[in-house]
């Protein structure tokens, strides 16, 4: 029963449809859409019955109908006009480069070209490029994965966001689970470590506030004074990329003062003696020099953390974007295991809960289809965080396989979000590269497309979704008909499969079929996925959202508390929480955490040439680059759009005054911005904002300055390890 009908709004009947915000946000809000008799959505609101959404939406999505019904939406397939070179277009003038075509014409042409490229260069010369435009299970990766697997296209290693932290967490705990939000009010200490809760994870905030009303303290560890930091009891402005050192320094103090939980350590962990030896090297004095804090601040933090119960760490993703971000996350993740914080409801840690959702992904993604491709084997893997390299250099060495000759972008504004933007652009400008982009808007990336295909929003298609910031399985019902000729990701790849002549039955699956497959019901109709055994597809369709249950324990507060990692076996190789990793040792890496400064940092070899550490930040009012083209959202970012935040000391040293035009550069590129003299950053640190390039002066964004260097664990992007110099323009 997808909708509840009501005509209480007047004479015409309105329907209220349960959807799920599918933007790349930990909150995955339950969104109720009111649809009028003409089938038009007239209102979006947070579902009051969802315990985490709590009836409100963030400022970005509260205005969602402006986006859905924006006159700038792409509503027809577009083809590049003959003779128009690829490259940045002026916003609003994009149609000079394109002409509308029918879906049939576009799909036939794309299928023909993909066949040709596969024949001429091998199927691995085709590269899919997608990330998290939607995080619905079907929209994020289902029919598309089947299609590219069957084709034999290169596989994409999706590392741009969460791989360093995810792999690091799993080295310690084996599974991405965390303290439920609903238990945060019981905490007496909350540490937001590299997490801007108020900006990027707003639905955790009411639980934080409730805890504070109950007497909890909030500590924020962040080199930038975010909204969250400004609201904290204590803001610790750590030097970028030095978190591993701080975590080790805290361990040093905890162990020196005997504040660890020995019985918990003995029962639950592996490698304590080795870790204790390592931590001994990290004296507060040494750590102070690296982190920019004082030794007594480090001691105070360690004592407060280890002696307050319950204590919870909300690590978000900021830490892992440094070159040593994997190790940093790993070291921080060990802290609650040292103090036994997991034992207390409201204690523990949260990085991502995505490991709680065990979809039947083999069936959804069908990796086995690679064996039915012309390759008859698994295709090569290309790292998305090195897109520039993939488009300009990959294939120069024969052993790397073919050059990339076709690029299929969906769910991503690749030209804006990938690091080393100048290399990315050089690649996208190649006239011999065939590029297709499936999008809702004419972004920086569509400027380089041969074909642009119109995509639906989450109001316009069906999906099922988990979350990385709570424990609810949710059903997103299609609320309105697709606008114009917009079509979903599932539809697009099903159509292309047909035109490629793929005959496997899975290419004819409907969204409804795939939702069932994801839930994997057994004979009694109940899901066979761990944690979802109480869920049937019908029940979920009716209720909209249902909390996971583990070992009979509900993950929602008010029931028996769900206390991950508090007792019993842990899904690591040793069956215990791992301070020492035999797996890392076997791979020739340091089995224990240690602090290695990023190459691009104040402590690295390039510090003399480029003295400032650059934070190319997300905007609180955009979602990565999504919403950056919406006037209402832009107005909310007006104070920081195109600004370079710089401390007064660094500004003075360069003769820069607030409002001056400045040039920011390093070996990879250069940007013109306007100085914003600000004490939100410390001396030696400057900050900018992610935005659409074509809405920025000079047509490019902060990623011209970031590098393709990868993290120590997870081969992920290192946006926050970037050195620059600044001068008055």
Chain contacts with ligand SF4 (rule: CB under 6 A): 21, 23, 25, 27-29, 57-58, 60-61, 202-203, 623
Given a contact cutoff of 8 angstroms between Cβ atoms, the answer to whether 424 and 160 are in contact is: no
128: contact with ligand MGD by CB under 6 A: no
Given a contact cutoff of 8 angstroms between Cβ atoms, the answer to whether 218 and 188 are in contact is: no
615: contact with ligand MGD by CB under 6 A: yes
Which of ligand MGD, Mo ion, ligand SF4, none lies near 160, with the C-beta cut-off 5 to 8 A by kind? Answer: ligand MGD
Q: What is the DSSP string of 373-384?
A: STT-SPPPEEEG
User: Tokens 């933090």 — which residue?
Assistant: 301
The CA-based dihedral angle spanning residues 162, 166, 167, 171, taken in that order and rounded to the nearest 10 degrees:
160
311-340: contacts with ligand MGD (CB under 6 A): 316-319, 322
Q: Using CB under 6 A, pick the residue from 155, 327, 350, 413 that binds ligand MGD.
A: 413
Q: 478 or 625, CB closer to ligand MGD?
A: 625
Joined together, the tokens standing for residue 96 give 């000079």
Binding mask 381-410 for ligand MGD (x = CB under 6 A): -----------------------------x
CB of 105 to ligand MGD, least distance (A): 19
302: contact with ligand MGD by CB under 6 A: no
Kindly give the interhelix angle for 243-256 and 295-307, rounded to the nearest 10 degrees. 70
Centre a 10 Å sphere on the Cβ of residue 354 and count the other Cβ atoms it contains.
18
440: contact with ligand MGD by CB under 6 A: yes
CB of 88 to ligand SF4, least distance (A): 28
489: contact with ligand MGD by CB under 6 A: yes
Tell me the window of 128-136, 167-175, 420-428, 514-522 that interacts with ligand MGD (CB under 6 A): 128-136
Given a contact cutoff of 8 angstroms between Cβ atoms, the answer to whether 590 and 584 are in contact is: yes
53: contact with ligand MGD by CB under 6 A: no
Q: 122 or 199, CB closer to ligand MGD?
A: 199
Which of ligand SF4, Mo ion, ligand MGD, none lies near 249, with the C-beta cut-off 5 to 8 A by kind? Answer: none
DSSP 2: -
- Kindly state the number of chain residues that form the binding site for ligand MGD, as judged by CB under 6 A: 61
Q: Whose CA is closest to 336, among 350, 324, 356, 353?
A: 350
Q: Burial letters for 449-487: b for 16+ Cβ neighbours within 10 Å, e otherwise?
A: bbbbbbbbbbbbbbbbbbbbbbbbbbbbbbbbebbeebb
Work out the angle at residue 32's Cα, subtended by the Cα atoms of residues 26 and 36, and round it to the nearest 5 degrees: 145
Q: Whose CA is closest to 145, among 498, 494, 404?
A: 494
Q: Name the closest residue to Mo ion (Cβ).
A: 161
701-720: contacts with ligand MGD (CB under 6 A): 702-703, 706, 719-720
Residue 361 to residue 456: CA distance in whole angstroms:
23
88: contact with ligand MGD by CB under 6 A: no
The CA-based dihedral angle spanning residues 19, 22, 25, 31, taken in that order and rounded to the nearest 10 degrees:
-20
Query: Looking at 182-223, which runs of residues are DSSP E strands?
Result: 189-193, 217-221
Q: Using CB under 6 A, pick the residue from 154, 373, 383, 412 that binds ligand MGD.
A: 412
25: contact with ligand MGD by CB under 6 A: yes
Work out the angle at residue 157's Cα, subtended by the Cα atoms of residues 156 and 159, and round it to the nearest 5 degrees: 130
Tell me the window of 72-80, 117-125, 220-228, 517-525 that interacts with ligand MGD (CB under 6 A): 220-228
Q: Using CB under 6 A, pick the residue from 141, 152, 180, 195 that binds ligand MGD.
A: 195
CB of 539 to ligand MGD, least distance (A): 26
Residues near ligand MGD (CB under 6 A): 24-25, 131-134, 139, 160-161, 193-196, 199-201, 221-224, 226, 238, 240-241, 243, 316-319, 322, 410-413, 416-417, 438-441, 443, 455-456, 489, 615-620, 622-626, 690, 702-703, 706, 719-720
């Amino acid at each position: 029963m997808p909708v509840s009908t009501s005509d209480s709004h007047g004479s015409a009947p309105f329907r209220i449809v349960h959807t799920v915000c599918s933007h790349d946000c930990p909150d995955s809000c339950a969104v109720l859409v009111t649809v009028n008799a003409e089938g038009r959505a007239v209102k979006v609101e947070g579902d009051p019955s969802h315990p985490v959404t709590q009836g409100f939406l963030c400022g970005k999505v509260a205005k969602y109908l402006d986006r859905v019904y924006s006159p700038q939406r792409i509503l027809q397939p577009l083809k590049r006009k003959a003779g128009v070179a690829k490259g940045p277009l002026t916003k609003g003038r994009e149609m000079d480069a394109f002409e509308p075509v029918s879906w049939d014409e576009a799909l036939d042409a794309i299928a023909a070209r993909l066949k040709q490229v596969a024949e001429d260069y091998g199927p691995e010369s085709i590269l899919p490029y997608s990330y998290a435009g939607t995080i619905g299970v079907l929209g994020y990766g289902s029919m598309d994965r089947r299609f590219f697997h069957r084709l034999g296209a290169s596989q994409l290693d999706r590392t741009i966001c969460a791989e360093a932290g995810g792999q690091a967490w799993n080295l310690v705990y084996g599974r991405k689970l965390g303290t439920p939000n609903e238990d945060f009010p019981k905490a007496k200490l909350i540490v937001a470590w590299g997490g801007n809760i108020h900006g990027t994870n707003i639905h955790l905030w009411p639980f934080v506030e409730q805890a504070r009303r109950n007497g909890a303290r909030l500590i924020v560890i962040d080199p930038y004074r975010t909204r969250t930091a400004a609201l904290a009891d204590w803001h610790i402005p750590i030097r970028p990329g030095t978190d591993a050192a701080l975590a080790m320094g805290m361990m040093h103090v905890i162990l020196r003062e005997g504040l660890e939980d020995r019985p918990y350590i003995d029962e639950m962990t592996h490698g304590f003696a080795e870790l204790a030896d390592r931590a001994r090297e990290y004296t507060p004095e040494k750590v102070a020099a690296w982190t920019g804090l004082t030794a007594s601040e480090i001691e105070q933090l360690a004592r407060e953390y280890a002696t307050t119960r319950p204590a919870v760490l909300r690590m978000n993703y900021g830490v892992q974007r440094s070159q040593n971000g994997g190790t940093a996350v790993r070291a921080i993740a060990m802290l609650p295991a040292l103090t036994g914080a997991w034992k207390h409801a409201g204690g523990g840690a949260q990085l991502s809960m995505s490991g709680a959702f065990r979809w039947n992904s083999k069936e959804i993604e069908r990796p086995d289809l690679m064996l039915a491709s012309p390759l008859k084997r698994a295709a090569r893997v290309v790292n998305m965080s090195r897109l520039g390299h993939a488009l300009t250099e990959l294939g120069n060495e024969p052993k790397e396989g073919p050059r990339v000759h076709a690029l299929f972008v969906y769910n991503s504004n690749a030209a804006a979000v990938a690091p080393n933007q100048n290399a990315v652009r050089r690649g996208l400008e190649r006239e011999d590269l065939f590029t297709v982009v499936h999008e809702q808007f004419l972004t920086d990336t569509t400027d380089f497309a041969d074909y642009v295909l119109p995509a639906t929003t989450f109001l316009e298609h069906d999906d099922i979704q988990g979350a990385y910031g709570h424990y609810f399985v949710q059903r997103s019902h299609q609320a309105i008909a697709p606008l114009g000729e917009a079509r979903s990701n599932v539809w697009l790849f099903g159509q292309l499969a047909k035109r490629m002549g793929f005959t496997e039955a899975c290419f004819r699956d409907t969204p409804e079929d795939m939702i069932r497959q994801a839930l994997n019901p057994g004979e009694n109709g109940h899901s066979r996925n761990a944690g979802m055994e109480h869920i049937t597809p019908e029940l979920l369709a009716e209720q909209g959202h249902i909390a996971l249950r583990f070992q009979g324990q509900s993950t929602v507060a008010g029931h028996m508390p769900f206390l991950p990692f508090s007792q019993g076996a842990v899904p690591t190789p040793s069956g215990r929480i791992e301070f020492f990793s035999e797996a890392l040792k076997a791979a020739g890496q340091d089995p224990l955490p240690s602090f290695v400064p990023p190459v691009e940092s104040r402590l690295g070899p390039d510090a003399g040439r480029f003295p400032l550490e650059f934070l190319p930040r997300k905007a609180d009012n955009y979602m990565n680059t999504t919403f950056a083209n919406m006037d209402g959202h832009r107005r909310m970012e007006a104070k920081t759009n195109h600004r370079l935040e710089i401390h007064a000391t660094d500004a003075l040293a360069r003769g820069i005054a607030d409002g001056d035009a400045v040039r920011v550069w390093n070996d990879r590129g250069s940007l013109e911005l306007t100085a914003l003299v600000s004490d939100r950053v410390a001396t030696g640190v400057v900050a900018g904002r992610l935005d659409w390039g074509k809405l920025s002066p000079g047509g490019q964004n902060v990623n011209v300055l970031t590098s393709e260097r990868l993290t120590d664990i997870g081969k992920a992007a290192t946006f926050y390890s970037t050195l620059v110099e600044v001068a008055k323009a």
